[in-house]
Structures are given as structure tokens and as C-alpha cells.
Structure 1
């Protein structure tokens, strides 16, 4: 009789391997604006809040 190897969901294997992700509220990031520019290693990205209350990040 063969013994079955215990299996775990992939998420269980990954969960303990990473530090918690920092969370920032969009309101704190946008600060009453509809658009902000983010400088990432010298490249400028624009984060915009749409009329449908969605976020769009463009380079």
C-alpha cells in the first residue's frame, strides 16, 4: 500500500515566506487631488482617479 504524500495549497507555502505588504489608502496618496506624479528611479508615472472612481497608473 502506497502512502499518500500530504499536499498543501500553494498559498500556504507562500504566505509565511514574505513580509507583510505595506498598505496606503488612496485618499492619503492623492490628498484631495485627482492626479499625482510618482517618480520611480527617475521615470515619472501618473496616478489618476477616474470619474468612475477607478485608479489608472500610466508611464
Structure 2
């Protein structure tokens, strides 16, 4: 006993196989160094300070 399927019918259990192409990201992004805040995160072996000191704003 076979039922005919209407035109355009798709079996809900059948999923078309589409392969996702894992394109690599911009290699420039992977070479950026972390900021001093990220480097000073807990567990970091070395502590870094910013190259420019924050200006004294106590007189503002």
C-alpha cells in the first residue's frame, strides 16, 4: 500500500545534506596582541601596564 505524495512534498524526516564550508577568518585578526586589560586577567603570568599613563583628572 503506497501513498502518492503531492508534488513538492518533502519528507519531514529527510534533510538535504548541505556542507558548511569552514572558511578561515581574517589572518590579521588572529595576530593581534591582547590589550593590557586582557593580559592582566587572573592567571596571567606577567602583568603589563599601558604604554601611556592616564592623565591626572583630579583637578578637573
TM-score, with normalisation over the residues of structure 1? 0.20
Higher strand share: 1
Higher helix share: 1
| Structure possessing the higher relative contact order (Cα contacts under 8 Å, 6 or more residues apart) | 1
TM-score, with normalisation over the residues of structure 2? 0.20
